[in-house]
Every structure is written in C-alpha cells, then in structure tokens.
Structure 1
Amino acid sequence: MEHTRIGILNLMKDKIETNHNFEHVLKNKDVELIFYYSATRYNDRVLAPEITSTMKPLNLIEVKQLDGFIITGSPVEQLDFAQVTYNQEINNLLDQLDELNIPQLYVCWGAMAALNHFYQIRKNILPHKTFGVYQNNIINDSCFLKDIKNEFPAPHARYAEMNHQDLDFNSELETKAISENGLLTLVESTTRPQTFVFSHLEYPQSGLDDEYHREMNSGKVPEAFPANNYYSPIDHHPMFTWKETQKQFFSNWLNCVTETKLIKS
C-alpha cells in the first residue's frame, strides 16, 4: 500500500525544531510527512536555506492529495484572528480541509483558529500565561485517548483560551479532557473528523525549557517565568513526564488517519 501522506502547516517560530518534533512523534515507515509554511506570511521575505530545502509554501492544490493534515500552534494567540497577517490563507485552508473531509489535527493556536472559523467559538486572553506540565482529566471517552490513563500529564503553554460557554452550547463539539486548572486539553467535533488539542504534546523533554529561554532572551516578554511542575526537585533538570502520553496519543491519531484512508479506498 502507498504511504499515508500527512501535511503539516508549521506556524511556529522555530520551524526546524518543530519539524523535528512532529517527525519524532509521527515516526512510521508507512507515513510521509509534507511540511508547509505560510505562503502569505513569507511572500516578501527571504527564508533560510534549511527551511526552503525541507518545507514548501502552502499549496491548496497539493493538499487535495493528502490523507490527513495538522496545523501547529503559532505565537500570535494574543492577537485578534483578523489581525494575523495570514488569517485569510488559514481560512482558505480550513475550508479546503473541511471539503476534503480528511482527519484534521489542530494544535494550540491552530485549534483556536479552527474552532473560531468553523463554530464561531470566541477566544479569551488569559489573565496570565498558562505554562507548565499539568494533570489532565478525561471527562468523555475518546478514541484518541485510548490506553491513556486519567489524570495524564501534558505540557501547556499559551496566553489564550476558547470560551467554555460557547463550547458547551454547541452540540457539534464535545470536550474530552481538561487540565487540573480547568483549561481545555482536548476537544473534538461530533460531526467532522476534527481534533483540537490545546496541550503541546509534540514537545520533547526540553520543549518548555527552550520556550522559557526564548522568551527570556527575546526581551519582549518582561514577565517570563519558568514552567510549573516541570523541573526535577532533585537536580532541577526538565522531566519528561508526558513521554508515554505523547507516544500513545499520536499513535492513536495516526491509526485514525490510516483507517480513514482504508475506508475511502
């Protein structure tokens, strides 16, 4: 059987690192990953050769040939959606994916943008960034949480949250898991093959530490703080408590993409 082809629109700041993260969590000899960057975001900028040699500008015609698609997070969650320079490009892609009806995984800001576009769920800025590793409670069964225990650990890193009341009033959406501090972890559509994950389960062990140092060194985040519940009390090194959850979640999602492809063929 030919490879399962999954497209990934990488909107993160460190694109190469993010590519490596998804290559690691979706590693499978029968899976081909195609990485894209926003065509409109970079249409007047020169990109580094390591990006242009491993990624392509988003092409909606190519997307029609894919079996699944992922939109990553992006460091723009404090902006209104309309203020994001590539907002129209994202909306065009979302409409294309909806028409194709292939499995879609939306991560962090990608999940926010998709929930707003498809279901008009509002985005609220949090009083402060949620940043750390938290336990997450499973409140409804999900095939993507198969063989994952309740109160599973997962890293969260975001400045915004989708409006819970909007979600509760929408019969096409079901919240599957929430963090111990009451924030969204996993939401799914009940009518479309759409999964919205608000935890950065793709992060490696160093992910939150890298993000903290990026913010510290940028000079743009005056109140940057280290991640909660993350550093070992013994040697103060980052702990990888979500490693098994990461492996199982992405395995479950890959199985969904493969099964959907088999049904369609």
Structure 2
Amino acid sequence: MPIKIPDQLPARKTLEQEGVTVMTETAAIRQDIRPLQIGLLNLMPNKIRTEVQMARLVGASPLQVELTLVRIGQHKAKNTPEDHLLAFYKTWEEVRHRKFDGFIITGAPIELLDFEEVAYWNEMQQILDWTVTNVHSSMNVCWGAMAAINHFHGVPKYALDKKAFGVYRHNNLNPASPYLNGFSDDFQIPVSRWTEVRDSDIDPATGLEVLMKSDETGVCLVHEAYCNRLYIFNHIEYDSFSLAEEYHRDVAQGKPIEIPHNYFPEDNPEAEPQNRWRSHAHLLFGNWINTLYQTTPYDMSKIGDDRTMNRGGD
C-alpha cells in the first residue's frame, strides 16, 4: 500500500521519481481500510528536506499510511516559507485532540543549549506528555530522542570535544528485537551531533534497552516497552548527500569542521559519497510500522486507554 500525503506537497514529486508509491487523497478515500495514522513533528530548519527523508522511509511500507505534518506553534521557522507551513502543517495545538498510531519527533540543531534554554521547551514537554495517552508508539530522533529520554527518565546529554560526524559502524545488540528484524550483526549509520547520551546513564531497571551501539560514537538506539518508545540518537534517515551538505555549509561559513568519517571516497570532499545505510534505514522504519500495525488498536479512540501519566519505568 502507498503513503497518503497532501496532493500538492513538494515531497510528492521527489518520492514518485524514486519509485515510492504515493496515493492521492481522492483515491485513499475509496479504500475500505483504516490507514495507519502517523504524525511527524518536524523540528529541523529545512523542513521540506526532512519531509522527503521521512516520507521516503514511511512510504516504503506495504501498508497504507497517512502522514500528518506537525510543527511547534510557539516557534517561527526561518528556513521554510510561511505559505508552505500554512498549506501543509498543523500546529500541535490543532492536532492535540487526535490520536496517532505512530508519532515521529525529529532532531533540531540546538543540541548545545540546555533543554530549559530552548525557546519552545515548555510546549515540547507538553507534547511528550501528550504522546503517553494519544500515541501508540513514538520514534524520537537525535535531539528529539535526547529531549524525550531526558524528560521521561532524566538521562542527561553531554557536550562532545568535537562533533561526532560521519558514517560509523554499529552493533546489533538484540537480533530478536522486532525492530531489528533482518538487521546484520553490524551495519553503518550516519552520525551528526555535538552531544551524546551515555550507556552508563541508561538503567535497564527503568525499562530501557539499548538495541544499537557503536564502539566509536556510543549509544544509537534505545527501546522502551512502556508506550512503545524508540529513541534513536543518530540520523539513519539521512539521504546520500546530507552529510556532504552539512560539511560544505560549515566550510563556507568558516566553522571548524573535519571531513566526515568514512563518508567521502578516499576522504575527498569533491567525490560523490556512497550510501551504505539505506537498506537498514528501510528495515528499521519498516519494522516499526509493521509492529505498529500488529499492536495498535483498530479503534483509535482506545489508544492510550491503559496508560496513566506516570512516566516510563515508574
């Protein structure tokens, strides 16, 4: 089954060119099934690019998925046209009455700020608490993962001496996990962050399980059975050129940045990088959506009925 997104969303053309099956809103209405409802809280500056990256992975599922784009209401985007936001996005206040099978919270380039210094932190905390009762399963990415695991479990983030930047080998710590079905014993994932969470702060007694880890960059993926949460601290959703664009942008701005690790052929930043993580990105998102489909209530009003506002592990 295809992904259902707004007919005029710019991501549609890119996805169709890549062979992703995209359903029109009109055609979706004719199908007598309940599509999975997935929300994307997009905190990234280049929202259009992030829409494509996430929709590419969500849309590869054989299930029909309806993607709702969500933004922070208290924050004005600087890098995305206002008419795009008005045409395709809902503020969280506009969707807080709804329930979702899945909800993705992206990263944001604000890692070095303390959480309390983030302009929209109060709204972010409300959204995280809202996911307990209104979302069957959430996937929190990079800064979104750090914010969520700190909010629910008090796990701190630490500034790095230099940016963790490049493509790094990761280990599969639990091949029996439904989220790692089909994963190799080791695989490569893009990393781009100035901060980290540490394995020593992740207490299994609170219901947290580390599923992926790198010897060089540490914890990557954590699962929490309570509320079916995933915390992924690296950018498995990145496309082939994301790291290159970050590198060339920082060089042009005179920022200190090293050539991304294990990314450009022969470390030549003028060479075209090869994507060595695409298949595992599709596996992770496909496994997540399959798990959603198998476990979410058919009656969406029942999502969250068995939960309280107690935080995971309490």
Shift of 1:195: 0.3
| Of 146, 165, 171, the match for 2:206 | 171
Q: 1:63 to 1:215 in 2, by over 3 A?
A: farther
The answer to whether the 8 Å contact 2:37/2:67 transfers is: yes
**Equivalence for 1:16:** 48
Task: Confirm or deny: 8 A CA contact 1:157 1:200 kept in the other structure.
Answer: yes
Aligned to 1:209: 244
What is the root-mean-square deviation of aligned Cα atoms in Å?
2.3
Amino acid at match of 2:107: G
Q: Does 1:144 align with 2:179?
A: yes
Q: Trace 1:152-231 onto structure 2 (pairs within 5 A).
A: 152-168=187-203, 170-217=205-252, 219=253, 222-231=255-264
**2: CA distance between counterparts of 1:165 and 1:43?**
36
Name the structure 2 match of 1:3.
35
Task: Flag structure 2 segments of 5+ consecutive residues without an equivalent.
Answer: 1-32, 301-314
Gaps of 5+ in 1: none
Paired residue type of 2:64: D
Question: Where does 1:1-265 land on structure 2 (aligned, <5 Å)?
Answer: 1-27=33-59, 28=61, 30-42=64-76, 47-59=81-93, 61-62=95-96, 64-141=98-175, 142-168=177-203, 170-217=205-252, 219=253, 222-233=255-266, 236-262=271-297
User: SS at 2:104's partner residue?
Assistant: strand
Q: Distance in 2 between matches of 1:160 and 1:45?
A: 23
Aligned partner of residue 176 in structure 1, secondary structure = strand
Q: Is the 8 A contact 2:57 2:285 kept in 1?
A: yes
Comparing 45-54 with 161-170, greater Cα deviation is found at: 45-54
- Retained in 2: the 8 A contact 1:15–1:51? no
Query: Matched residues, percent identical?
Result: 31
Q: Secondary structure at the match of 1:209?
A: helix
**Which of 155-164 and 6-15 deviates more?**
155-164
Confirm or deny: 8 A CA contact 1:16 1:51 kept in the other structure. no
- Please, what TM-score do these two structures have when normalized by structure 1? 0.91
How far did 1:127 drift? 1.2
Partners of 1:155 and 1:68 in 2: CA distance: 23
Contact 1:70–1:105 under 8 Å retained in 2: yes
**Conserved? CA contact 1:189–1:195, under 8 Å:** yes
Q: CA deviation at 1:150?
A: 1.3
The 2-side partners of 1:253 and 1:52 are apart by: 29
Say which SS state the counterpart of residue 68 (structure 1) adopts: strand
Whole-angstrom distance in 2 between the partners of 1:43 and 1:241: 32
Structure of higher CA gyration radius: 2
TM-score under structure 2 normalisation? 0.78
Residues 21-44 of structure 1: CA deviation (Å, up to 9, x unaligned)? 111111146001111111111299
User: Structure 2 vs 1, CA of residues 15 and 46 (structure 1 numbering), >3 Å: closer, same or farther?
Assistant: closer
How many angstroms apart in 2 are the aligned matches of 1:264 and 1:56?
A: 23
- Write the deviation string for residues 106-128 of structure 1: whole angstroms up to 9, x where unpaired: 00000000000000001111111
Please list the CA deviations of residues 35-72 of structure 1 after superposition, one character each: whole Å capped at 9, or x if unmatched.
11111112999953223222222226446332110000
Contact 2:171/2:214 (<8 A) preserved: yes
User: Are 2:47 and 2:80, in contact at CA under 8 Å, matched by a contact in 1?
Assistant: no
Q: Deviations over 1:184-219 (max 9, x none)?
A: 1111114331000112111111111122223333x3
| Cα distance between partner residues in 2 of 1:18 and 1:95 | 24
Change (3 A) 1:31 1:63: farther
- Structure 1 pair 171/45, CA: closer, same or farther in 2 (3 Å)? closer
